[in-house]
A and B are shown apart, each in its own frame.
Chain A
Amino acid sequence: MKSIEFKNVSKRYEDVSVIEDLNMTIEQGEFVVLVGPSGCGKSTTLRMIAGLESITDGDLMIGDVRANDLAPKDRDLAMVFQSYALYPHMTVRENIGFGLKIRKMPQAEIDKKVEEVAEPLGLSQLLERKPKALSGGQRQRVALGRAIVRNPSVFLFDEPLSNLDAELRVQMRAEISKLHRQLKTTSIYVTHDQIEAMTMGDKIAVLNKGHIMQFGSPMELYNFPKNTFVAGFIGTPPMNLMKVKVSDHGKTLTHASFQIKTPSRWREATEKFDGGEVILGIRPEKIGLLHEHDDWDVPAHIFGKLEMVETLGHEAIVHLICDGNKPGSGDKILAKIKPKNSPTMGLLGEHYEVTFDTRAIHLFDPNTEHRLPESRFDSQTSQEQESPTAKQNYVLSLESQGN
């Protein structure tokens, strides 16, 4: 097990910069997921660790050693590729044992090790088969076996599950996590799938255009996204982001379809934007129907035109288009509601009303797109001060409309 540290690492191809000034420390035994959209530099970062890409600038430390100029074979790493990259002309046994054979290990010992690794991966019966006679999941297990058998200090995974079908992906995800718990080997895992990132990583690094947007635990990224990119990237469906007008010395936030009191923990920050705009973020799971959420103390409602309903079985995702002629109309808002309350298709195009929890909003600077600073107020107290009877009023108004 070794730690990995990036110190101001950059990677450029002639004039094109792929990674810029990367700083990140991956502790011993940690499972770190690099996640981001296509072309964000996550695979390049992994390949720099592997030694398959040179480093233009900065230092890469593997353990205590500066690894910039170390050959891949001297870095004591194993890598699992997206395309499996098995040797098609070799049997499963030869594939798994190839690395050991290169290291001139006696054949009897290689056989023993290969069988030890094949057993838990369920490959014992397939050792004499060639890769073409295996299913996708089995091939990926061979690729895993090939990495494990060498007992490396660090595992590198380059989108290993992307080629598998959904069911197999869930299964392999669990297997890789189990493997990490057993071996406790430092692992770096590249994916563009944020569900994989959330479920597998001890820590997640979100990358975009060669920069780290945020590096932290999955819940840290989910609850406190540092910028709009992370806010939009982590969570399915993504966080709703919309521009709102700030007024009343930062105490009021106005959008085409709602107006709310700024929660007190944000007020210090919003005051600076008085008369201007900030970006408000709210997760779809924090928007819904009021009677489904008794714990939302300070609800506010949003009106919009019902554009689409996606029923997923355990939940329904409602797409609303905000209307009106104020700024912010035309914004798309996604809400999660219980499927039994899902609107019928006949209501598409009609006006629809949802509610959101004002405590759960996130605010971002519209220029830098960075999260605004929050003061450490007790949010419970502050909300009681703001609107103690808001919910009751709202329920009453609904009842009076006959809903």
Chain B
Amino acid sequence: MRLPKHFGLHVGLTSFCLLTIYPILWVFSIAFSGEQNISFANIPADPTAWDRLRAILPWPEQISIQNFVDLFTQQPFFDWLLNSVIVAAMTTILGVFLACTSAYAFSRFRFPGRRTGMMMFLVSQMFPGTLMLIPLYIIVTKWLGLGNSYFGLILVYATTAIPFCVWMMKGYFDTIPKEIEESAIMDGASSATIFWKIVLPLARPALAITALFSFMTSWNEFILASLFMEDEAMYTAPVGLKFFVGGFSSQWGYFAAGAIIVSLPVVLLFLYLQKYLISGLTAGSVKG
């Protein structure tokens, strides 16, 4: 008997898919179990094959949304979520604004230090983030006195996100034909008009990626947030999540439910921005 074409490939790929989905299924199971345990089945002293399978099957004994309700009623999760929204949104706005203005300058203007500037941005990306923990803490908390505040964290996040965003945006600006801008110059447009009315609308795909990156960086970030936000009321969602399972508590149900809620905005944002991620927005402007 001949096996279907690509049978082996499909088996391999399906196995990898299951491997990826399995932990996520566990998170869902725990979140919707209504309990705080990390395991569902009690394995008897002399387990049968079915008992063993039950133990690794991510399916709760009962389905309940109690963990989600408790998160918002019993725990300060809503406040943490709000903190995350404020920090991530502000980081995105500040990061994208600064990144696209500077990237435009790097792409279009020739000035002393242009190459060095771009190189510095690149070099800054080569060091692991944890290396900057102490200097950042000293600068933000000791010198600027912005510890435990939204602005301090926003500043730190924006600073770390901007180099990547500048490279990203510059790369895209470079692909926008210069003639389009020259044409606008001939039409009498000022530099500001050209930037806002011509270049930025054309750079929507890059803006979408940059915004998504900035948002995700700050939304998911844990280490810096746990360092700067000392007060429990100022925790961001990832720091709050750690609170459920750190130290002496092991509220895995809250942790799983919180993790799902935290990941939702990123998924939704990605789906929303997907339409801007299409390439070829400049098609039709110049002969391709």
Contacts and interface: CB of A to CB of B under 8 A. Distances in A.
Interface residues of A, number: 31
Contacts of A84: 285-287
B179 interface: yes
B201 interface: yes
A78 B182 CA distance: 11
A78 B284 contact: no
Interface string B184-223: 1111110001000010011000000000000000000000
B193 A131 contact: no
Interface stretch (A97-105, A116-124, A380-388): A97-105
Most A CB atoms within 10 A — which of B184, B193, B282, B286?
B286
A50 B186 contact: yes
Interface in B164-190: 177, 179-180, 182-189
B179 A88 contact: no
A45 to B, nearest CB: 15
B285 A72 contact: no
B283 interface: yes
A62 to B, nearest CB: 14
A79 B186 CA distance: 7
A315 B278 CA distance: 51
Given A87-B184, A98-B184, A98-B187, A81 B284 contact: no
A83 B179 contact: yes
Given A132-B284, A139-B284, A87 B198 contact: yes
Interface string B253-288: 000000000000000000000000000011111110
21 contacts: A50-B182, A52-B182, A52-B185, A73-B188, A77-B186, A82-B179, A83-B285, A84-B285, A84-B286, A85-B180, A86-B286, A87-B183, A87-B285, A89-B201, A89-B202, A102-B189, A103-B188, A130-B284, A132-B283, A134-B284, A136-B287
Most A CB atoms within 10 A — which of B184, B283, B287?
B287
A73 B185 contact: yes
A102 B287 contact: no
Interface of A: 50-52, 72-73, 77-79, 81-89, 98-99, 102-103, 130-134, 136, 139, 146, 150, 163
Contact of A88 (B182, B186, B284): B284
Contacts of A88: 180, 202, 281-285
A81 B179 contact: yes
Given A131-B285, A150-B187, 18 more contacts: A50-B182, A50-B186, A51-B185, A72-B186, A72-B188, A73-B187, A77-B186, A81-B179, A83-B287, A85-B179, A85-B285, A86-B285, A86-B286, A89-B201, A98-B184, A99-B186, A102-B187, A139-B284
Contact of A146 (B185, B187, B283): B187
Contacts of B284: 86, 88, 130-134, 139
Most B CB atoms within 10 A — which of A89, A146, A163?
A89
A77 B185 CA distance: 11
A85 B189 CA distance: 14
Contacts of B183: 79, 81, 85-87, 146
Nearest to A140: B287
Nearest to A50: B186
A52 B286 CA distance: 19
Contacts of A77: 186
B186 A87 contact: no
A190 B186 CA distance: 17
A99 B286 contact: no
Interface string B100-113: 00000000000000
> Which 7 residue pairs of A and B lie closest in terms of their CB atoms, listed nearest first?
A132-B284, A83-B286, A99-B187, A85-B179, A88-B285, A131-B284, A73-B188
Contacts of B281: 88-89
B180 A72 contact: no
Most A CB atoms within 10 A — which of B186, B198, B282, B284?
B186
A305 B165 CA distance: 66
Contacts of B187: 73, 98-99, 102, 146, 150
B198 A85 contact: no
A163 B201 CA distance: 26
A87 B286 CA distance: 9
A73 B202 CA distance: 23
A102 B179 contact: no
B193 A102 contact: yes
Most B CB atoms within 10 A — which of A98, A131, A146?
A98
Contacts of A102: 187-189, 193
Given A87-B198, A88-B202, A81 B182 contact: yes
Nearest to B179: A85
Nearest to A156: B186
A346 to B, nearest CB: 44
A134 B288 CA distance: 13
Contacts of B285: 83-88, 131
Contact of A85 (B182, B188, B193): B182
Interface in B211-266: none
B47 to A, nearest CB: 64
A87 B287 contact: no
A43 to B, nearest CB: 11
Interface string B64-86: 00000000000000000000000
Contacts of B179: 81-83, 85
Contacts of A139: 284, 287
Nearest to B178: A85
Contacts of A86: 180, 183, 284-286
